[in-house]
Amino acid sequence: MDMEIDDDTSRPKGSIMFEGREEKGKPIMVIMVGAPGSGKSTFCDQVMRLSTRPWIRVCQDTIGNGKAGTKAQCLKSAANALEDGKSVFIDRCNLDSEQRKEFVKLGRSQVDVHAVVLDLPAKLCISRSVKRSGHEGNLQGGRAAAVVNRMLQNKELPKLSEGFTRIIFCQNESDVQAALSTYSALGPLDTLPQGAFGQKNPEAKVQVGIMKFFKKKEIPANAGPATNGVQDSASSQISEEKDPGLKGVVSVSANAGKELTEGEEPVVGSVDSDSLNETPTLAFPSLSTSDFQFNHEKASEIIVEKVEEFVDKIGNARLVLVDMTHRSKILSLVRANASKKNIDSSKFFTFVGDITQLYSQGGLCCNVIANAANWRLKPGGGGVNAAIFSAAGPTLDAATKEQAKSLRPGNAVVVPLASTSPLFSREGVTHVIHVLGPNMNPQRPNCLDNDYITGCKILREAYTSLFEGFASIVKAQAIPKGTYQNPRFKQSEAQDHLESAPRNGDKRENVHEYDKRKRCKGSQEEGRTDTPDSSPVNPRNGKIERSTNKAWGPWAQSLYHIAMQPEKNKDSVLEISDDVVVLNDLYPKGQRHLLVLSRHEGLDCLADVRKVHLQLLRTMHAIGLKWAEKFLHEDASLVFRLGYHSEPSMRQLHLHVISQDFDSKHLKHKKHWNSFNTAFFRDSVDVMEEVSSHGEAILKDDEKLLSMELRCHRCRSAHPNIPKLKSHISKCRAPFPANILKNGLVCAPNNANNDP
């Protein structure tokens, strides 16, 4: 059989030679998760047949010399294979964290631990199980249906917090095929970006977040021309070559075979908020190597040199070099150079895709992107510059002019994006860093006439400016208030990073907590310490509560700024007093949905509340009741509930006053529903009683609450998705549960039966 040769390196694809020996990449252990009949074994077999990476499949149904064995045998077999440098599929159901825990422990730091979740409809799994014959575990025929049903009742989807570095959720056959393509395309040296991908809004007919290598796939019509570097001559196609990447450096495609109905916008936010959204990330193009014609070999060496210098200075943040095609020469050279330096692939990797659509098309959340700008900082011209200005809208041009009028080669300027910018609301980009490199093109200004001594000096300065700018943003987002000095940035610019929350006149597209959390989680947990003062013992369960020392990213500061300076937001504020501000939630989850904001400095969330704040809670409750009663006079059919989220993602203590019809186009996801209809939502009356009796509120911030099955808030019946739940609650006439009626609901006198 002919061996396929990589164009760039003249070697078999998926391997690289160093000093006459072939290097192997980091082993991957993929823990399959799914009910019988979901297709786990088929998935493993297909990947093993197509992939050039050495895989073994560990299946409990056959581990005992072709017969069923034990979990201990599976663990031993997997450990031996990983020790030999092979990648492993764990082919068991693994439907709860206890079943997965011991396998995850095998990973340690030397192995990437992934989960592929085949979360397919129960009917499909049952149908397959019943119909199949010759199954390895003999689970077939009539008894299969009962087994599948029983197992799915206790299903617990995996989370990154269990120890996984990557999770892919497959909820239909299209998802499964995308995941198959991803793993089948992995060569011995390839790795994949970390995070959780593919948990979708059940209403949306869109696949987001599955990293996939393409074979002659058309770029969607709405794809921009973005990113610098080498671009295919046939720009309407993704390269058919899979670039295997090199040791220690990730190389992935950003284009995730997504399917949209006609006229439908991509749904941003299907990536799990516990995943890579929490990691500050800078996506940057190769500077000067496209239109400015800088030598690729020299440029790649400087990129790696500067990445190596800065990668340890930015904490858990990440640097991502982006280009449009797998055939990009600069990406290939950078990966080769980076592999020799053993740079941590979780902190620096390459990514193939449009820099203006990294999240909506590829599931890669980058809160900062770099623009290879021109010296006048003007839109247009082509390439990255034109694409970023176009994607960001006119607000970027206006914000850029506020920061600088021009830019000298080797320098950068940080520009915060307004919340109204499409790049902010669609992609989660909070800042653009304009940076100007050296020019070797005689057709462009300031040509250096092939003076590479000066050119390399300027290019080093350009990357230094860029990475220092990113470091300043990371630092600004890691502290809730104050400024700091940066050698290349004025103190006022650093303050701008902190205070980039929308002002009067903005649409405040980030006001609702979970609508924004799903895009790019704005709050970052710093290293926390539990002390008697900051983390008192919970008197009900004896557990130490978490410290309230929490840092808030710039977008999460919006409510804080409104509370502190309501006079600047008069258009959106309904009521102002010394203690509170009242405003409509921009993304209401019911016909009526208000926020009552505390104006007290230092009360960021419910965790900060102590007994001394009891009167404030009573004031907030009374004002919430007043507004609910006002609405009831306008519409007596409404029913209201007043309460707090246990773990809000927007800074500043605020009380929700929300009608219980939940008739809203903005209620789209399971988290939306469960954030108001589980113990995650703390009734105002309960909170006041707890603070009065125990000096604090008892928080219910367990992520399990937000991922619970969907249940009607009245009759408690279960429903498979939001559309069916909405259809049910529009007709349900069951009384509300007694505990809610007692504490949280406000009803008009003629509405005693709670029939909307």
Are 718 and 651 in contact by the 8 Å Cβ rule? The answer is no
574/584 Cα distance (integer angstroms): 8
Distance CA(410)–CA(272), nearest Å, equals: 37
Give Cβ neighbours of residue 328 (< 8 Å, ≥ 6 apart).
Answer: 229, 230, 352
Report the candidate in 256, 122, 239, 247 with the shortest Cα–Cα distance to residue 195: 256
DSSP annotation of 557 = G
> H or E element: which one contains 281?
strand 281-284
In the block, residue with structure tokens 């690729």 = 296
Task: Tell me which residue of 137, 224, 207 sits closest to 171, measured CA to CA.
Answer: 207
- In residues, how long is the chain? 756
Q: How far apart are CA 372 and CA 355, in angstroms?
A: 11
**389: its two tokens:** 């200005």
Amino acid 605 reads C
Q: Looking up tokens 């739940």, which residue turns up? A: 725
Integer Cα distance of 53 and 50 in angstroms? 9
Q: Mutual orientation of helices 670-677 and 722-729 as an angle, nearest 10°?
A: 50
Please name the residues in contact with 203: beta carbons below 8 A apart, sequence gap of 6 or more.
Answer: 668, 721, 722, 723
For the residues of 570-633, what is the DSSP string, one character each?
TTTEEEE-SSEEEEE-SS-SSSSEEEEEE--TT--SGGG--GGGHHHHHHHHHHHHHHHHHHHH
Number of neighbouring beta carbons within 10 Å of residue 482 = 9
Please tell me the distance from the alpha carbon of residue 522 to that of residue 653, in angstroms, as a whole number: 16
Whole-angstrom distance, CA of residue 44 vs CA of residue 63:
15
User: Left (φ > 0), alpha (ψ -120 to 50) or beta: where does 298 sit?
Assistant: alpha
Of 116, 266, 147, which Cα lies nearest the Cα of 205? Answer: 266
Q: Where are the beta strands (DSSP E) in 386-496?
A: 412-416, 431-435
**Rounded to the nearest 5 degrees, what angle is found at the Cα of 327, between the Cα atoms of 371 and 330?**
50
- Written as one string, the DSSP assignment of 633-695 is HH-TT--EEEEEESS-SSSS-EEEEEETT---TT--SHHHHHHHHSTTEEEHHHHHHHHHHHS
Task: Give yes or no: 654 in active site.
Answer: yes
User: d(Cα 655, Cα 662) in Å, to the nearest integer?
Assistant: 17
CA quadruple 127, 130, 131, 132: dihedral positive or negative? positive
CB atoms within 10 A of CB 66: 9
> Rounded CA gap, 432 and 661, in Å?
40
Catalytic residue among 654, 656, 669, 713: 654
CB atoms within 10 A of CB 69: 18
Which sequence positions are flagged as catalytic? 654
